[in-house]
Amino acid sequence: MPDPRPTPLPENLDRRSVPAHVGVVMDGNGRWATRRGLPRTEGHGAGEQALVDTAYGALAAGVRALTVYAFSTENWRRPVEEVRYLMNFNRGLLERRQHELHAEGVRITFSGRRDWRVPRGVLSRMDEAASLTKDNTVMTLNIAFNYGGRAEIVDAVKRLVDDGLSARQVDEKAIRQRLYHPELPDPDLVVRTSGEFRTSNFLLWEMAYSELVFTDVLWPDFRREDLYAAIVEYQQRERRFGGVDA
Ligand code: IPE
Ligand code: IPE
Ligand code: MG
């Protein structure tokens, strides 16, 4: 399906310095629902439209990779009913959207742990979406699912040990190569919705020099215009990477 809502990019968005990789902490679903007198799960459901519209916006802007935080290693602490809903919801989302994203040339990948708590049916849907879209090159939609930044670093260190590296051989490159998606550049921009000012264990290693943009918009209300506004804000920042101004 082509973009159902083609929208011109804002004039103040510089097409020559679009962030190559954008991370999004999709937060505020529960509050969105509660404010409407709905169960929290309705907020997760409403987040689907936000995700799809944001993906179309990222495609239109020329973003090469979009990593979205869908379920954290800490989200297992939620009530069992909500966790079950989120597992089924994410499976359903892939079933409903993988062909549409595939048609747009999106490669779907996942970051996170495939542990015993993730139902087998969810894992097989994830594998199916990844394999269907593996050769696509327009944009990578990387879904952080059962993802934790600390878990990712622990997993990388385990692989270092398994690979038999000596202390002398351990450096940033050796660790980076063992992260979940070493082929993706570090995110230039990370957006968090819902007025929370924290990372909540998202992309700890990769975010070292990301520009952070926070917005009060609750995730289910987020649309590509909000992504464009975040990109424009990013373009006004001066990135120094520890150096001094030129
Ligand atoms: C984000 O929305 C979705 C997930 C964490 C899965 P929340 O469910 O955290 O919504 P709030 O923060 O409680 O409003
Ligand atoms: C972060 O949101 C995780 C996702 C968006 C999937 P949370 O709602 O879980 O974060 P905290 O608990 O407010 O830090
Ligand atoms: Mg939250």
Identify residues whose C-beta is under 5 A from ligand 3, the ion. Answer: 27
Which 3 state secondary structure label does DSSP give 146? strand
**Dihedral-angle region of residue 241 (phi above 0 means left; psi in -120 to 50 means alpha; beta otherwise):** left
The structural domains of the chain, ordered by start, are: 18-150+186-235 (3.40.1180.10)
The protein residue whose alpha carbon is closest to atom 8 in ligand 2 is 27
Q: Which atom of ligand 2 is the closest one to the Cα of 144? A: 6
Choosing from 75, 136, 186, 221, the catalytic residue is 75
Name the residue of 194, 196, 199, 218 to mutate for ligand 1: max ligand atoms within 8 A of Cβ. 194
57 touches ligand 1 (CB under 6 Å): no
CB of 152 closer than 8 Å to CB of 142? no
195 touches ligand 2 (CB under 6 Å): no
Residue 12 structure tokens: 């103040």
Query: What is the rounded CA–CA span in Å between residue 220 and residue 41?
Result: 12
Output the tens digit of pLDDT for each of the chain's 246 residues: 689 999 999 999 999 999 999 999 999 999 999 999 999 999 999 999 999 999 999 999 999 999 999 999 999 999 999 999 999 999 999 999 999 999 999 999 999 999 999 999 999 999 999 999 999 999 999 999 999 999 999 999 999 999 999 999 999 999 999 999 999 999 999 999 999 999 999 999 999 999 999 999 999 999 999 999 999 999 999 999 999 986
The protein residue whose alpha carbon is closest to atom 12 in ligand 1 is 28
CB of 131 closer than 8 Å to CB of 151? no
Does 88 qualify as catalytic in the annotation?
no
Chain-centre distance for alpha carbon 72: 11
Query: What is the rounded CA–CA span in Å between residue 220 and residue 208?
Result: 28
Q: b/e string for 55-93 if b means 16 or more Cβ within 10 A?
A: bbbbbbbebbbbbbbbbbbebeebeeeeeebbbebbbeb
Q: Angle between the 40-61 and 80-103 helix axes, to the nearest 10 degrees?
A: 30
Query: What is the rounded CA–CA span in Å between residue 96 and residue 119?
Result: 18
Q: What share of the chain is helix, strand, coil (3-state, %, to 5)?
A: 45, 15, 40
Does 27 qualify as catalytic in the annotation?
yes
CB of 140 closer than 8 Å to CB of 66? yes
The protein residue whose alpha carbon is closest to atom 13 in ligand 1 is 30
